[in-house]
Each structure stands twice: as structure tokens, then as C-alpha cells.
Structure 1
Amino acid sequence: MYTQLTATNLASFIDSLDKKTIYEYPNSKTRTRIQIIDVCMPEGPITIKRCDPSKGESFDDAKPQTISSKMLWRLASALKPNHPVNIDRVFGASYNTRSALETLLLHTEFFYLCYPGRLEKIGPNTEVKVGHKHIIFDMDNPKRKGIIVEKKINDMVVTEIDREVRFDSLLLNHKSTKKVDIELDRRHAQIQVLLIKAAASMGLISWVASNDHSIIYNGQRLIEMDEVMKDMDSTPALQGYSKAPEAGRLIDCIWFTKDGKKIPAILEIEHSTGVTSGLTRMKNFMIEAPDLKDMTYIIVAPDEIREQVFRKAAQSQFSEMNIKYLSYSAVEDLYLLSQRKIQGIDNIRFFHTFLESIVVQD
């Protein structure tokens, strides 16, 4: 019977590789090489060095880099036997050692390189297109360590169509004369629903911004969903902070434990570069509940505006909040992985592997 992979498994696979060998990337055009310096068992981190000999670089001068335990846990949770996984999809724009992790795993005995087809929907038609690079875990067919082998899977197609949450019937609670506004609002609501569903799978309940209560998903208003908190006024975690519920009323999503005693995350969804308003709402909430300042404050935003989010969230006025970043692609993957009912992994620890810390400017 298959048991879900863990960070310990991935660290062990890489630890079994020859530390004296120099490893090449799967793309022959990539001149950079990798050397394993150390694997800290049982679950990382893994220390590596990288250099490009074609540029005259050497490993002696290269700075050590880290493949963190968080990375190993996050990837391990996404893996299952004979199922193609796209590393960039798992990590989004996060972690500059993600390609090194992919490369080292491909040199182990249980991971293969593959290019599954992908379905692309254009109007009413669906076509199979050439797929992107994936890795595939095949424990039943080990190969020789130290080499990269491509596995032919011509009959396999990876598609967005098999994602479980559908948004075709998502209705918004206001009208707009601009199509672009409608699409921005719809995407915002999609991410909001994913956060609600992911939280529910982790045994949590969500507060949703009051101005979004009337959005309809799957024939039901968000406020009517079992996974959504009806009001925050009587929540145990906020008792003694009489102004906190009002301060948090327009925050996009706040996660509570079902008993209402703990707040694992406060999340603001930003679809453009207008991040400051969300940060300000979260800061006002923190001010009204100062003893809860160590809660996890998160900006959720598209992968393509990550740098803008970091720049604005790193401003000194938000220093007390220890802000985290969660990309849209990470939200989607978090939702999909949370549906597997993975056993033996702490839910909040699992969730934190999807977050990036933002360093505050002095």
C-alpha cells in the first residue's frame, strides 16, 4: 500500500547520491552545475553549491545555497506514484533553488523526466498540446542513480479541466460597465472560494469580508456556506477586543479554528499592485487586538506581481506584522493538496510551507 511521501523520503533519496559527483541540469543548454555539500537528516535542509564553468566559475568560489525543509515538505505533499508533477507549478515563483531540487531528484533512482500532453481549451474546442517538463515518481521501476532518464508517457494528459472547483456559475454581487473589472472581481472571488475550501479541509472556518457575503458560488451565497463564519462578535479569540470585529469586517479572509479560540491566518487578496489598502486593513485589525500581533498576516496575489507585493509590504510601517506572501498558483495547489486528506502532517505546518516571508526595510 502506498504511503504519502515526506520530506524525510526526499532528503534520503538525495542523501544517497554521490557527494563527489557534479550534477547537470535536465536542459542541455543550461551550463550551470550542482554539487551536494551536505544533507541534514532526517528532513533537510540540503546544502548545495552551483557554478557555471563556461563562465570561469568554480565550486571553490561558489556560495553555499539551501534547499529548505519547507521546500521538501511542500514537494513531498504534491507527489504521488506515476503522477506527473510540474516543479514550477508546485513552487510558483518561490524559492530560487527549486530547479536544483528537481535536478537532484531526477538523478535519484525513483524519479524520471517526462513531458505529458496538456489540454488547452480554445473556444468550444479542446486540443492536446505538447506538454511542459514534469517529474514523475516511480518507486516500482528504479533506475541507475546519477543519470537522468526520460519516461515516455504519450497516453497521459495533464489538464486544468480535472481541477475540482468549477467557477462557471460564480456570480458577483454588483454590476460593472467594464469587462476588465468583472474579470478582476471574478478572479478575486475564485481565490476567495479556494481559500475557504482549503481552510475547511484543514479543519478551519473562514470569515469572509462582509461586502463579499452576497457573492454566489454553486447556487449559494458565501455567507450561507457551512465553512463560513456568520459573525465575529462572539468569537472567543477576539473577546476583550471590542473594536477588533469591526476592524476586521472588510478583510478578505480570516481563518479561525472551529472553536473560535485561535486565528491561524489573516489573508488579504490583491489582484493588482494596490497592496497598501489590504496591508492597512490588516494593520488596523492588529492595532485593535494588540496581544494577537504574532498572528500570520498574508498578502495573496498573482505570481506576476510578486516583486511589487514584496516592495510595498516590506515598508517599515508594516514591520510588526511579519507579513507573508502567498501566490495565486500556491493557493490553487494548496487547495488541490488539501483535498487528499493527507495523514500524519500538521495542517498549519503544511500550510506554512506555501508561504514566503517578506523582509521589512530598515
Structure 2
Amino acid sequence: MKIAVLKETATGEARVGATPETVKKFVGLGADVAVESGAGIGASVADADYAAAGATIGDRAATLAGAEIVLGIQGPDPAALTGAKPGAWIVAGLNPFGDRARIEAYAAAGYEALAMEFMPRLTRAQSMDILSSQSNLAGYKSVLMAAAEYGRAFPMMMTAAGTVSAARAFVMGVGVAGLQAIATARRLGAQVSATDVRSATKEQIQSLGAKPIFVENVKGIEGEGAGGYATEMSPEYQAAQAKLVSAHIAKQDIVITTALIPGRPAPRLISDAQIASMRAGSVIVDLAAESGGNVEGAVSGETVVKHGVKIIGAKNVAGTMAADSSALFSRNLFNFLSAFWDKEAGRPVLDEEIGDAIRLTLGGKIVNPRLLS
């Protein structure tokens, strides 16, 4: 069984799908691991480190030759996979809803594409979940990004010249990224509040020392969706939430938005009018900017100023910490493949529950129900 680790080609992508730690573990399972030269440079991993872990280093053609599994962060260009075995597994974050053409190309080429972001939220699959590992880092970094743009201090400071008030930070969406953003803002000394459409998150917010901001006594709330993800809200809830947020957001210095709905555009949480109510110099970080944005006027990958408020359209935030994010991502991939490793077959053999959930293509066709509905 040959596993290929490719250098990422997407603009700005510095992460890598395997580290020397996971390469060594794959070799321990009996796999041959080939790493494209320079694949780890962006994550501060030298070719020599991979070689010391037991990998073979070569150009892309040599790396792909005979490969049965190809590991990546973002799915590689199907046209650049020449040499991989027919039916080879492509194991990476594949953006199935956003890049349908690439998935169709994988099918046409006969590859079996496995989308790691479709990993079901099962207890046994927690260690395989790339969305959680990368969102954790994104939540942390989002607060640092806000702090870098905010022209004032985060903690309260008492000096001989007077007192500096603590920054007020508001986190919208309390999933993995939101919880880490709350914790990070608290560590930096901000007064933190947070909201979510799922009532179960109220205790989590309080446990981190933040103030929960929730709509109460409104019918038609459908906040808890499949797998713990939020769903779209009823019109009654949306109206009540907008009113509550408008009153609260006008008092905030920092706002972090994290709301995503799988397979659909990110929900709009902050309007232009609400931005205008904030004081000049405030900062908003939109972690959903790549999916359409939670904030009106946010631009993915750019920082814009509206009404004196800086709006950071966050893009590939976890990738800005390539060393740590690669370490976590690569462990997710190893945990996934090793959990199904069949010693007799010398390769992983997927079960139906997880295999059917993440498999996008098989036998030249798109087979995943989420892409066929």
C-alpha cells in the first residue's frame, strides 16, 4: 500500500496532509509513504524530516506513481494526479458543495473521493473530524486578528494616568470556533458575551465565564439540526434575534461571527444598519466570509471599513498557523485510516456508517446522497 503526500497548490495554502509524526505511524502499519519534495515547507517541515521518518522524497510524478491513497488538505487538481492507481482514494477536505466540478472530475477519472468534512459526528469519529480541529484554531486566531486591528487594549488597566476600560467582545455562533473565541477573548481580558440559536450552548457559554445573550419565549425555533449543527431559524425567531442583537451589538467593540449551515450559504447575522450603530474603531471578524458571510459587506480575504468599523473577511484562518493546523489535520487523517486498517489486506477497509457518509465518488459516479438530493 503506497500513500502519497502532495504539496498543496491552492493559493495561500501552507498546510500539509502528513507530518513526520504521522508518516512514521503509517510506516509502522506497513505502508510505503512517498512525499512530494517541498510539501512541508510552509508548515516548517523539511524533506529531511520526512525522510528520517521513513518516507521516500521525490517529485510529483514519482510521488504519485502507483499510489493507492493520496492525502491532502484541499483536494488536488484531478488533472494533476497522473500516475495514481485506478480507484485510488483521494482523502482530503474536498469542498463538495462549493466545487462540484472537481468532484465530477474525480468520478470521471475513476478515483474514490473521500471528503473528510463529511465525517459524521459520532463519538468514535471525533478524532477524525477535520472541521473541529481546524475550527478550534480558527476561533483562537480570530480573536488575535481582532486584537491586531483594534486600536485599544483588551483588558482593563488601572494606571496612574487613569483607567482603561476592558474591551467588550461578542461571539455569534457557539460551535467549536465560537467556544475557542470566547475562551481566547476572556484570556486576553475582554468582557465577553455570546449567542447561539441552540439553547444547549447557554451552559457552555457560562462555563467559560461569558454572558449568554439569548432570545427567550419565541415559538418556531429549530436551532438544533442533524449532527449538532444549527439549522435555519423560523421567521419569528429571526425577527426576535435581530432586535436583540441590534440592541446588544451597538455596545460592542469586537464581534466574532462563526455561523455556518452545511451545504447552504452562511446565514446573515449582521446588517449594514447594525454595523453603523457600532462606535468607530470597532472590529468585526467574519469567520464565515468564504461561505457568503455572516456580515453584510464582508469580503472574503479582505479587510474593509464601513461606518468606521473594520470588517475582516477571514479566509483559511487555520492555514495561517500552518505548523499546528497541519499537525492536527494530519492526525485526523491518520486516526481515520488507521481505525479501519486491515492487517491481512494491508490497507484500510471502510465500514458502511462512516464510509457511506464521506464517500463522494465510486465506480465513475457520484454516489453520496448529500450530493444527489
TM-score with structure 2 length normalisation? Answer: 0.31
TM-score (norm: length of structure 1): 0.31
Relative contact order (alpha carbons < 8 A, sep ≥ 6): 1 or 2 greater? 2
